[in-house]
């Protein structure tokens, strides 16, 4: 039987007690900012079963979930990789692959969102510079991560969240929080930052990659930086490699909407609330964790939308990371 480590973690007032094999424990411990001795609200137990070799049956989807009467079965192609059960008090996970951190993350977020309705999720990164919180939001491949990493490298910004940001109305201001999840970084910003060595040392990310092993090997061998692929890493790894302080939360003072342009130019503009609103509304994220499926539009309309006109709004168009020099970023943050 695989030895388990038991630890308690805290996130926004909710306490998780995790019992898991060492590799999963080490991954999860690098995604929570705090441990605690408080009595747990949520229990997650992980049993490591015999490893199964994933058979690439291309007639099946790469990832799929089948809902049973009392469980959820997760498949890669047609190979069972995880079974999750919830008995009203505990989450029980049987895993058939190595370092299956994603099962624990999905279960904890399922518990959290079942028991906390006073928030919403938005697709975006939250950076902090000189006490000002800047939510960088926009569609996929718009340059959000490239811009955030440039702020870290060039002006010493700190970070709260990357990829998804949890928003709440707190005393008539909008607060942003990090979410318990791996950080996703696309190939281009990964290779053009201090994260680059993780590309050939993925075991140092302390997460399970979304891509399968063969796909990763092809990308590594290609020598290209423009492939549409992303890699994951633990929150603590991201912080250590970039030398950035990761904050748990911060007030949002400004919203920045980036976009790439084919032309080799850079354009910074102050935009109106009305111009920004459509982009913001399109980036509201559904909460889909296990059987819990909530959308955030209601909370946005009731608690967030009427606070937005008090914020500042800017857009930035750029062609490449090389253009994001210190003076450009300082102009953006004025």
Give the span between the Cα atoms of 236 and 32, in whole angstroms: 9
Total Cβ atoms within 10 A of residue 69:
4
Domains of the chain (ranges, CATH numbers): 4-115 (no CATH), 120-332 (3.40.50)
Mean pLDDT score, 169-189: 94
Tokens at residue 304, please?
């967030």
Q: pLDDT grade, residue 15 (50/70/90)?
A: very high
Say yes or no to pLDDT of 159 above 60: yes
Per-residue confidence (pLDDT) for residue 212, from 0 to 100: 84
Say yes or no to pLDDT of 290 above 50: no
pLDDT tens digits, 229-242: 999 999 999 999 99
Tokens at residue 58, please?
């291309």
Say yes or no to pLDDT of 311 above 90: yes
Beta bridge partners of 64: 75
Mean pLDDT score, 67-92: 91
Per-residue confidence (pLDDT) for residue 22, from 0 to 100: 95
Residues 6+ apart with CB under 8 A from 98: 23, 51, 208
Say yes or no to pLDDT of 289 above 60: no
Nearest one of 289, 159, 165 to 236, comparing CA atoms: 159
Residue in this structure with the two tokens 């973690």, named with its chain if needed: 9
Say yes or no to pLDDT of 292 above 70: no
Mean pLDDT score, 7-18: 97
Give the span between the Cα atoms of 19 and 36, in whole angstroms: 15
Burial of residue 108 (CB within 10 Å: 0-12, 13-18, 19+) is buried
Burial of residue 59 (CB within 10 Å: 0-12, 13-18, 19+) is exposed
Mean pLDDT score, 186-193: 95
Total Cβ atoms within 10 A of residue 280:
22
Mean pLDDT, the chain, integer: 92
Q: pLDDT grade, residue 288 (50/70/90)?
A: low
| Under 8 Å between Cβ of 207 and 197 | no
Q: pLDDT grade, residue 143 (50/70/90)?
A: very high
Q: pLDDT grade, residue 58 (50/70/90)?
A: confident
Q: Could you write out the three-class secondary structure of the chain?
A: CCCEEEEEEEECCEEEEEEEEHHHHHHHHCCCCEECCCCCCEEEEEEECCCCCCCCCCCCCCEEEEECCCEEEEEECCEEEEEEEECCCEEEEEECCCCCHHHHHHHHHHHHHHHCCCCEEEEEEEEEECCEEEEEECCCCCCHHHHHHHHHHHHCCEEEECCEEEEEEECCEEEEECCCCCEEEEHHHHHCCCCHHHHHCHHHHCCCCCCCHHHHHHHHHHCCCCCCCEEEECHHHHHHHHCCCECCEEECCEEEEEEECCCCCCEEEECCHHHHHHHHHHCEECEEECCEEECCHHHHHHHHHHHHHHCEEEEEEECCHHHCCHHHHHHHCC
Tokens at residue 108, please?
């904890």
Q: pLDDT grade, residue 55 (50/70/90)?
A: confident
Per-residue confidence (pLDDT) for residue 299, from 0 to 100: 87
């Amino acid at each position: 039987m695989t030895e388990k480590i038991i630890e308690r973690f805290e996130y926004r007032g909710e306490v998780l007690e995790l019992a898991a094999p060492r590799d999963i424990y080490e991954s999860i411990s690098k995604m929570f900012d705090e441990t605690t001795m408080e009595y747990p609200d949520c229990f997650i137990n992980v049993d490591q079963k015999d490893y199964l070799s994933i058979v690439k049956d291309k007639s099946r989807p790469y990832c799929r979930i089948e809902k049973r009467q009392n469980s959820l079965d997760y498949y890669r192609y047609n190979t069972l990789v995880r079974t999750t059960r919830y008995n009203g008090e505990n989450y029980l996970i049987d895993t058939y692959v190595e370092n299956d951190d994603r099962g624990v993350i999905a279960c904890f977020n399922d518990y959290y969102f079942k028991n906390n309705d006073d928030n919403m999720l938005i697709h975006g990164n939250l950076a902090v510079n000189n006490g000002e919180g800047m939510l960088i939001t926009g569609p996929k491949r718009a340059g959000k991560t490239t811009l955030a990493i440039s702020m870290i490298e060039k002006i010493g910004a700190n970070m709260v969240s990357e990829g998804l940001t949890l928003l709440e109305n707190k005393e008539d201001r909008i607060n942003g929080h990090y979410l318990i999840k791996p950080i996703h970084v696309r190939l281009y910003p990964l290779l053009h930052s201090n994260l680059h060595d993780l590309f050939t040392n993925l075991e140092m990310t302390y997460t399970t990659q979304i891509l399968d092993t063969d796909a990763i090997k092809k990308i590594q061998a290609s020598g290209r930086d423009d492939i549409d692929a992303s890699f994951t890493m633990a929150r603590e790894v991201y912080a250590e490699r970039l030398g950035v302080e990761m904050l748990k939360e911060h007030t949002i003072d400004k919203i920045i909407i980036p976009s790439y342009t084919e032309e080799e130019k850079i354009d910074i503009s102050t935009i109106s609330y009305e111009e920004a609103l459509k982009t913001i509304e399109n980036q509201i994220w559904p909460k889909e964790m296990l059987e819990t499926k909530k959308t955030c539009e209601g909370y946005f309309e009731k608690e967030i939308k009427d606070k937005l006109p008090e914020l500042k709004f800017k857009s930035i168009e750029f062609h490449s990371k090389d253009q994001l020099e210190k003076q450009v970023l300082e102009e953006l943050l004025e």
